[in-house]
Amino acid sequence: MRGRYFLAGVPLVVAGAVFVAWLAAPNSGPETPLETRAGWPERADIGGGFELVDHTGRTVTDRDFLGRFRLIYFGYTSCPDVCPTTLQRMTLALNRLNGDEVRQLQPLFISIDPERDTPEVMASYVENFHPRLIGLTGSPEQVAKAAKAYRLYYSAVEKEGDDHYLMDHTSFVYLISPDGDLLELMPDETTPVEMAATIREAVARAP
Ligand code: NI
């Protein structure tokens, strides 16, 4: 445990730098025209299919959530700061919505640390947050595919054989439409009030 909290800022700085470098990097594949809008990835490039395992051990795909808005955050349960803070912000935002709005929305927490985040670990972790939150994990390959679809960077740091390593990862809350299109990317500065307003507006616009 020693050093874990001290080190907490390091991966965030590294992740930020890597993310900026990634945004600035020339683009390789034809499927990834990396234009940026106000420094963010073009929204049409983000989202898409995944197959993962939920916190009850059931295999799920993105198609299981079609027809509902999705509020998605990628992170890991051992994260000392940003992930629990973000999930708390999501919970506070959801608490501001009415029952009808909440029913149209599926909050998802997708682990980028599948080695430690088994379905059992995810099950006890999601209990700390909104009752509708579903935790998703899977094999390292399944997680890598999901992260790639959402243009998410993640990497283990300080991994020296013990179980206390940290993960670098980009940190956005994704609001996805019932059809699976990206509607909003919400950065860490987004308050629960702002997040709730964004969700409410999107739900109100839905047919
Ligand atoms: Ni985190």
Q: If you measure from the C-alpha of residue 100 to the centroid of ligand 1, how many angstroms do you get, rounded to a whole number? A: 30
The pLDDT of 36-64, averaged and rounded, is 79
Distance between Cα 8 and ligand 1 center (Å): 9
140 pLDDT above the threshold of 50: yes
Q: How far is the CA of 207 from the centre of ligand 1 (A)?
A: 35
Comparing C-alpha atoms, which of 21, 173, 33 is closest to residue 105?
Answer: 173
What's the average model confidence in pLDDT over 49-59?
Answer: 97
How far, in Å, from the CA of 38 to the mean position of ligand 1? 23
Percentage of the chain exceeding pLDDT 70: 77
CA of 73 relative to ligand 1 center, distance in Å? 10
Question: pTM here?
Answer: 0.79
pLDDT in tens, 102-119: 999 999 999 999 999 999
157 falls in which pLDDT band (50, 70, 90)?
confident
Residue appearing with tokens 């506070």: 92
| pLDDT at position 131 over 80 | yes
**Minimal CA–CA distance to 169: which of 105, 98, 78?**
78
| Mean pLDDT for the chain overall | 84
Distance 75 CA to ligand 1 centre (A): 5
* Interval between CA 103 and ligand 1 midpoint (Å): 27
Burial of 146 (0-12, 13-18, 19+ CB in 10 A): buried
Q: What is the pLDDT of residue 116?
A: 95
Please give the C-alpha separations between residue 48 and each of 15, 72, 113, in angstroms, as whole numbers: 23, 12, 20
Count Cβ atoms within 10 A of the Cβ of residue 141 and give its class: 0-12 exposed, 13-18 middle, 19 or more buried.
exposed
Radius of gyration of the CA atoms of the chain, in A: 16
For residue 49, the model assigns a pLDDT of: 87
- Is the pLDDT assigned to residue 120 strictly greater than 50? yes
Q: How far is the CA of 205 from the centre of ligand 1 (A)?
A: 31
